Structures are given as C-alpha cells and as structure tokens.
Structure 1
C-alpha cells in the first residue's frame, strides 16, 4: 500500500510502531516524567495494562521485602 492511499489511522499506527522500535522505553520514560507533575491516573494511563501490572508487582514485592527486613 502506498503512502498516498494510506488512511490516517493506519499512518498513526505505523508511526507508533516505528517509534516503539526506535525507543522501546520511551513510553515508560514519558510516564515517569509525567508522574512528577500529574497524578497516579496519568502514570497508569500512559503505561498501559502491561506497565500497570509491572508497577503493581513492584509495589507488592517492595512491601513484602520491607516487611521481611523490618521484622
């Protein structure tokens, strides 16, 4: 499909995929910088469902380690 016949949705998706290939941690970096000025909803919204799951796991593991160390 040539670029002239490409729909705006397909073009946005293609550009998004190219950006992810060039900079895979860019969304995570943007999310943390946005969290400095925004709230938790901004952080979670920019991370996506996988990033949110990782963040929850890190928090849970942090609490477990802290409870063991501070016992």
Structure 2
C-alpha cells in the first residue's frame, strides 16, 4: 500500500479534528448532547485539557461536598 494514500478512517478523523478546531463551542454543545449516549472520547476531545481539568475539579468538589453534608 502506498504511503501517500489516506485511508477513509484517517480522512474522517482528520476532517473531524479540523472541524473541532474551527468551531469549538458548537462542537462542545454537540459533544455534551452526545455524552448522554456514552461517547466520552468526543467529550474529552472537544473540551481540551483546560475543560477536562475544570470538569475533574467540579466532580471532586461535588464528591467532597456530598461527603461533608451527607454523612
């Protein structure tokens, strides 16, 4: 197989990543809606590292607050 040919899977992934970079807020909304169906990879991909850190902090704060108030 020639190295200059791109497989359809790689083409789709490259186009998806390009769309995420062009329109991050619209894709974040789409990803949150898709997250209800269990697609965690799209959620993490659209949030980026800052969004993931904020999400982890919110989860940790919720766990700590629930353990304090609901002993």
TM-score by length of 1: 0.56
- How well do the aligned residues superpose, as a CA RMSD in angstroms? 2.5
Q: Shift of residue 39 of structure 1?
A: 2.5
Structure 1 residue runs without a partner (length 5+): 1-11
Secondary structure at 2:36 match in 1 = helix
The runs of at least 4 aligned residues of structure 1 exceeding 4 Å deviation read none
Aligned residues: 53
Partner of 1:59: 59
Partners of 2:27 and 2:54 lie apart in 1 by 14
Contact 1:31 1:43 in 2 (8 A): yes
In the alignment, what sits opposite 1:28?
A: 28
Q: Report the structure, 1 or 2, having the larger helix content.
A: 1
Q: Please, which runs of 5 or more residues in structure 2 have no aligned partner?
A: 1-17
> How far off is 1:40 after superposition?
2.1
Aligned-partner Cα distance in 2 for 1:49–1:68: 29
Q: CA deviation at 1:38?
A: 3.4
Note the C-alpha offset of 1:43: 1.3
CA–CA separation in structure 1 for the residues paired with 2:40 and 2:69 = 27
